[in-house]
Chain A
Amino acid sequence: MTTKGDAGAVAPASESYYVAHQKIYPREVSGRFQRLRTAAVWILLGLYYLLPWINLHCRQSVLFDLRARQFYIFEMVLWPQDFIFLTWLLVLAGLSLFFFTAVAGRLWCAYACPQTVWTEVFLWLERLAEGGRARRLKLDAAPWSASKLARKGGKQLLWITFALWTGFTFVGYFSPIRDLGLRVLQFELGPWETFWSLFYGFATYGNAGLLREQVCKYMCPYARFQGAMFDKDTLIITYDAGRGEPRGARRRGADAKATGLGDCVDCRACVQVCPTGIDIRKGLQYECIACAACVDACDEVMDRVGMPRGLVRYTTQHALDHKTTHVLRPRIIVYGSLLALLFVGFIVALALRKPVGLDVIRDRNALYRLLDDGRIENVYTVKILNKSERAHEFTLTVHGDGEYSIDPLVPRYSVAPGSVYPAILRVRRPAWGSVSGSGTIRFEVVAEDDPRIHAAHEARFLAPAQ
């Protein structure tokens, strides 16, 4: 039996279309872009591991409190009612990705993607336990021995410890981390907290320790569609074939022109440092995460052989073709304008967000009730949400066309910060007064200490038709 490939070629059915994975042993590299990447790792992972330990207003500065259903992000407190802000933030993040990719290529992949930064740390730990590239190659090729077992075991110990710490920190964003830490020490962690710590730790270990570049190559959706955001003016890392070819080794100090060779000395340093194992000299490939390790490696070699830097560099296709690179182009203007508009809208909406919310639910058990004194009564459950970080005393009033009265007469509610106060309110109106039939009434709450803090909600008042 045979199967037909894309190009119409006939291949045996048992033949796999997947190439066997080759373990990549990226060589350590130094240079300006590596320094930038290292800084990004320290800043981003530093924030991840330290933020939950920083307190603000006697609470964790960043806490997604699932129990209270409140998200604390520094001064901002988001409630389920503020879901729109989270959605807005996600849209902003997505659009930023589009914008920065169109301008400068895969900046996200190179410097900020969690996969990149955690893989970098796992690589550091691997080097710490097993040594540099040459030693790791030799170690993997060597038969099992006590030394190999110790090095491999040491690496696994470092990886697992780091992964568990990562998992613990992750749970610490959802459950106060100081209390969580105490309970870990007392072996009193809940079953779900244990599960998520292990789950996230395992995911970190698997993705950054074992799979590494395979996540970018096979699992990352962004790697597949980022090509749609690229054009000939997008910043990419590329090999200057015009300058480098024909490549070949030559003696130190030899005149390249006389030998007929280009500037590439074919040292393969760019291949050895690549974390995804590609050869940038073959052109732009989707596996390239634009980490610029090849740029640093090539610059180092160019310095050594006394040739100008930049054989592999950040550039654009237009620049390579000796054409003008346009930074401002329609897609950049569209992405940039949308991003600016949404960002300004987000800030304005956030600034105008009311620190108090009011929810009014009619009693569903009875439409209305006729009282002995000839009035009609509707019962409501009123929920006052104090979204601020201070307690407030709220006064509630009801307005509408007609003579409405409420029970309790002067409803005052003291609502603690970040909490909901549910109250039962009876609203009454004469059955046959100036107004009859159903109508709309307006509930209003005002903070007694600050009249600017107020909220209103409209509801139906049901009454028999005349």
Chain B
Amino acid sequence: MSVEGGQPVDERRDLGARARKVGVVVWSSFLAACAGTLFLFAFIAPTDIIGPADGSDWQDHLGTYSLGFLGLWCLAAVASTIALYLHNGPEHK
């Protein structure tokens, strides 16, 4: 810990430029995945994917919803990363 301009500075909590970019990607894709999950599972029931026989188990249902959400999150994160990468065009390098 150091002191800068009379205020103590805790470097451990400094997110840094790279971490902030990760934060932007993770957070924006999380919001998109939330909306996407609501929309997706309004029209598709877990039993449509895993079948009614397996669908009787509560954990199977929750697993389908969870994997659906995590899958959408990954997809949205990839899209956000590509958008961020393309936004920082060659002139920035």
Residue of B nearest to A212 (CB): B13
- List the B side residues contacting A284 at CB < 8 Å: none
**Out of B10, B24, B63, B92, which one reaches A23, CB within 8 Å?**
B10
**Out of B13, B23, B62, which one reaches A66, CB within 8 Å?**
B62
CB of A340 closer than 8 Å to a CB of B: no
CB of A67 closer than 8 Å to a CB of B: yes
Expressed in whole angstroms, the Cα–Cα distance for A196 and B92 within the complex equals: 39
The answer on a CB contact under 8 Å between B38 and A86 is yes
The answer on a CB contact under 8 Å between A22 and B24 is no
Residue of A nearest to B56 (CB): A67
The answer on a CB contact under 8 Å between A83 and B11 is no
State how many angstroms separate the Cβ of A385 from the closest Cβ of chain B: 13
The answer on a CB contact under 8 Å between B17 and A20 is no
**Out of A18, A141, A192, which one reaches B16, CB within 8 Å?**
A18
State how many angstroms separate the Cβ of A211 from the closest Cβ of chain B: 8
Expressed in whole angstroms, the Cα–Cα distance for A18 and B63 within the complex equals: 40
The answer on a CB contact under 8 Å between A22 and B58 is no
* Cβ proximity bits A115-152 to B, threshold 8 Å, 1 near / 0 not: 00000000000000000000001001100000000000
Known: A20-B4, A86-B38. A190 touches B62 (CB 8 A): yes
- List the A side residues contacting B65 at CB < 8 Å: 66
- List the B side residues contacting A190 at CB < 8 Å: 58-59, 62
Expressed in whole angstroms, the Cα–Cα distance for A36 and B11 within the complex equals: 34
Expressed in whole angstroms, the Cα–Cα distance for A80 and B15 within the complex equals: 41
CB of B86 closer than 8 Å to a CB of A: no
CB of B53 closer than 8 Å to a CB of A: no
The answer on a CB contact under 8 Å between B38 and A140 is no
Expressed in whole angstroms, the Cα–Cα distance for A83 and B58 within the complex equals: 22
State how many angstroms separate the Cβ of A234 from the closest Cβ of chain B: 25
Known: A141-B1, A191-B59. A21 touches B13 (CB 8 A): yes
Expressed in whole angstroms, the Cα–Cα distance for A193 and B65 within the complex equals: 12
The answer on a CB contact under 8 Å between B14 and A21 is yes
Near B by CB (< 8 A), chain A positions 46-76 give 66-67, 69
State how many angstroms separate the Cβ of A269 from the closest Cβ of chain B: 15
Residue of A nearest to B20 (CB): A218
Cβ-Cβ contact count across A and B, 8 Å cutoff? 75
CB of A210 closer than 8 Å to a CB of B: yes
**Out of A141, A192, A214, which one reaches B63, CB within 8 Å?**
A192
Near A by CB (< 8 A), chain B positions 76-93 give 92
CB of B74 closer than 8 Å to a CB of A: no
The answer on a CB contact under 8 Å between B10 and A140 is yes
* Cβ proximity bits B11-38 to A, threshold 8 Å, 1 near / 0 not: 1011111001001100110010000001
Expressed in whole angstroms, the Cα–Cα distance for A94 and B3 within the complex equals: 42
- List the A side residues contacting B41 at CB < 8 Å: 80
Near B by CB (< 8 A), chain A positions 203-246 give 210-211, 214, 218-219, 221
Expressed in whole angstroms, the Cα–Cα distance for A69 and B13 within the complex equals: 42
CB of B9 closer than 8 Å to a CB of A: yes
The answer on a CB contact under 8 Å between A17 and B17 is yes
* Cβ proximity bits B38-56 to A, threshold 8 Å, 1 near / 0 not: 1001110100000000000
**Out of A20, A175, A214, which one reaches B58, CB within 8 Å?**
A175
CB of A365 closer than 8 Å to a CB of B: no
State how many angstroms separate the Cβ of B45 from the closest Cβ of chain A: 6
The answer on a CB contact under 8 Å between A196 and B66 is yes
The answer on a CB contact under 8 Å between A80 and B62 is no
Expressed in whole angstroms, the Cα–Cα distance for A421 and B43 within the complex equals: 19
**Out of B10, B31, B63, which one reaches A22, CB within 8 Å?**
B10
State how many angstroms separate the Cβ of B8 from the closest Cβ of chain A: 6
- List the B side residues contacting A259 at CB < 8 Å: none
Near B by CB (< 8 A), chain A positions 17-56 give 17-18, 20-23, 25
State how many angstroms separate the Cβ of A198 from the closest Cβ of chain B: 12
Expressed in whole angstroms, the Cα–Cα distance for A138 and B24 within the complex equals: 33
**Out of B14, B24, B92, which one reaches A219, CB within 8 Å?**
B24
Known: A66-B62, A140-B8, A190-B62. A80 touches B45 (CB 8 A): yes
State how many angstroms separate the Cβ of A307 from the closest Cβ of chain B: 26
Interface residues of B (CB under 8 A from A): 1, 4, 7-11, 13-17, 20, 23-24, 27-28, 31, 38, 41-43, 45, 58-59, 61-63, 65-66, 92
Q: Given A3-B92, A20-B9, 16 more contacts at CB 8 Å?
A: A20-B4, A20-B11, A21-B9, A21-B10, A21-B13, A21-B14, A22-B4, A22-B10, A23-B8, A67-B61, A141-B8, A174-B62, A190-B59, A218-B20, A219-B23, A219-B27
Which 9 A-B pairs rank lowest in CB-CB distance, beginning with the nearest?
A23-B10, A83-B42, A21-B14, A192-B62, A190-B59, A219-B27, A18-B17, A67-B61, A192-B66
Q: What are 9 contact pairs spanning A and B, CB under 8 A?
A: A17-B17, A23-B8, A23-B10, A23-B13, A80-B42, A137-B8, A175-B58, A219-B23, A221-B28
